[in-house]
Structure 1
């Protein structure tokens, strides 16, 4: 029975992967690339390369949709042709029939997780870099601008409350992959003394774990806000944290990082004390874990709905799948925004759609099994 059900589930699943991935790709990227082909003269070979690099991301997004389509379509057909009734007559329970689809969904969840961790982030990053190189071929391949890194610490107040104050602000106009230019550093980490460093350029000295600054001025500021000293230099070494360089080098979009890279970025953001970025990153990390399990939810819901005696064709199954997936992703977007705003904990913002879907699926399964 398991072999038979799996053989029936795989063809519609593969069809769904191709159909949904193509649909999402066309909506999300294809028209934008066509516009750039016309307006900026983007080479068609680059456009095809970017499409190929973006394809893994859309394949991953199509896995939950395809799981729902395959289970709904397969179990609906078996139900309409009375094959499920025959299985129940042989003593096979609804729970056992649905279990095959759920186990297959767990396998697809593992594949989704591997894709999402090992392939998608690297492909997305390479697609962005390829497009930037093609559109800005006269500029350096690696370049960051307006790098800002604030660092905070909590100060205990006499009334027992804590107040967050800025201890260091690091700013650079540009970073070419090795050297930063147009640097301004406000350092208030030492009690009773502040310094402002303005430098033409600077780079990290890995052998000595210090910053080498060139052609600049250091302003020492006393507690009464008066200038204590002004020092001009051609080359000056200062022991400041390496973190701003890490921020510049690891500047990636959320979709271009795997979980390990996102966790590293989270540690950097915690040092800066930016609460909003920390919340967003926590939600994205949880979503990277929660999204693959949407396949299990879709497999359970699709198989359960499909076991209900009905006359549902392929077109109707495809339409129902689109409706369910649309509802799921709308809920996913709403909970993500609530998590970003701090109205929901990060884990709940990411897992709530799965929890709701799983609850609905189990409720329907119990009702169908009692018939």
Structure 2
């Protein structure tokens, strides 16, 4: 009796454990396995095409014309591979769903499943689940691997070609500081309070510095200095060999003061701008958000709008996988046969149309016709709408 009780308890415990394990039906496993092979084929095919067009031709040209070493070229080629793989993931989802669901439809398997009471909406669930997983993988690539790899590839290439150090901007450092300015009527208004310009930067020292002070609403003084160094322990700029021109209310010079050395408590932002030479493809979301705030403080609102669209696209682009799964599945369920070659060609057309829409929306976001969020996410919403329409036609 005790042994029976023990066995029963074991079964109950096992049954309770299985209750918390997600159940994957045979149909879901079968459909998922069907999509894996064409997906992997797509990753290889699309990555290879993108690498040849976007990287290999240029590297071969640099080897023959600029004397770039073969070993260095191979290193750069390997570092650029993650970016092209990231772009190939959504395309491969589209190809995988098109080919796999087309084969199932051609062999009559989708008809058999539907006659058993399985709706087309249920049939696309495995594709959507797989696409969500690939979306997460794409997001991790874009956040962890791609920015660092792109930055290293750029640094190695610049160093090999003996070009300017990409670690900082070496000339024409321009920064505008905005803040509250007291108006003649006593009110306050956001306006330019200081303009900062350095002709050159050697990595630590600003050279040929000019500062215009508008803190009282009009130009109050002009300061020029031979050099300036940021002192982080005091949070001040240390200026050497300079002149301060005090401006009167009528625009004439009120006095001229020369100095050998002077310390001013001004923002550190000009130094940060000079040291930040990465583009949005070489930064993750956190770094790009910080860079946007830095550019916003400089008053370059056109660049801010462009960067905000890029930031939202970093969130939106991984979900292209879900969009393409939603479009590719019902297209594959159509009764006509779609071969691998035809599926590849159809995928190219859909991808071209989607990225054209993405480019147009991004441009509209940069000129402020669309908000940054709408510019990044509108192509996804249109794609999902198209997928639902196609699925309703299959139903």
**TM-score bucket (shorter structure):** over 0.9
Aligned to 1:287: 313
Aligned pairs for 1:231-270 within 5 A? 231-270=257-296
Aligned CA distance change for structure 1 residues 361 and 22 (closer, same or farther; 3 Å): same
Aligned CA distance change for structure 1 residues 157 and 219 (closer, same or farther; 3 Å): closer
**Hey, what's the Cα distance between the residues in 1 that align with 2:218 and 2:166?**
43
Whether 1:12 aligns to 2:38 is yes
Whether 1:353 aligns to 2:354 is no
Whether 1:306 aligns to 2:337 is no
TM-score w.r.t. structure 1 length? 0.94
**Hey, what's the Cα distance between the residues in 2 that align with 1:336 and 1:245?**
30
Contact 1:151 1:272 in 2 (8 A): yes
Aligned pairs for 1:267-346 within 5 A? 267-346=293-372
> What is the root-mean-square deviation in Å for CA atoms of aligned residues?
2.1
Residue 163 of structure 1: CA displacement? 7.7
Residue 78 of structure 1: CA displacement? 1.0
Whether 1:220 aligns to 2:246 is yes
Larger Rg belongs to: 2
Q: Find 1:75's aligned residue among 101, 111, 114.
A: 101
Moved more, 115-124 or 288-297: 115-124
Whether 1:37 aligns to 2:37 is no
Listed as ranges, the gaps of 5+ residues in structure 1 are: none
Aligned CA distance change for structure 1 residues 129 and 299 (closer, same or farther; 3 Å): same
Residue 253 of structure 1: CA displacement? 0.8
Count of matched residue pairs:
368
SS for the counterpart of 2:241 is strand
Contact 2:364 2:375 in 1 (8 A): yes
Listed as ranges, the gaps of 5+ residues in structure 2 are: 1-26
**Hey, what's the Cα distance between the residues in 2 that align with 1:158 and 1:111?**
57
Q: Find 2:228's aligned residue among 202, 213, 227.
A: 202
**Hey, what's the Cα distance between the residues in 1 that align with 2:101 and 2:175?**
55
**Hey, what's the Cα distance between the residues in 1 that align with 2:304 and 2:384?**
28
Aligned to 1:148: 174
Aligned CA distance change for structure 1 residues 321 and 155 (closer, same or farther; 3 Å): same
Aligned to 1:105: 131
Aligned CA distance change for structure 1 residues 282 and 363 (closer, same or farther; 3 Å): same
Aligned to 1:26: 52
Aligned CA distance change for structure 1 residues 140 and 89 (closer, same or farther; 3 Å): closer
Whether 1:187 aligns to 2:213 is yes
Residue 56 of structure 1: CA displacement? 0.9
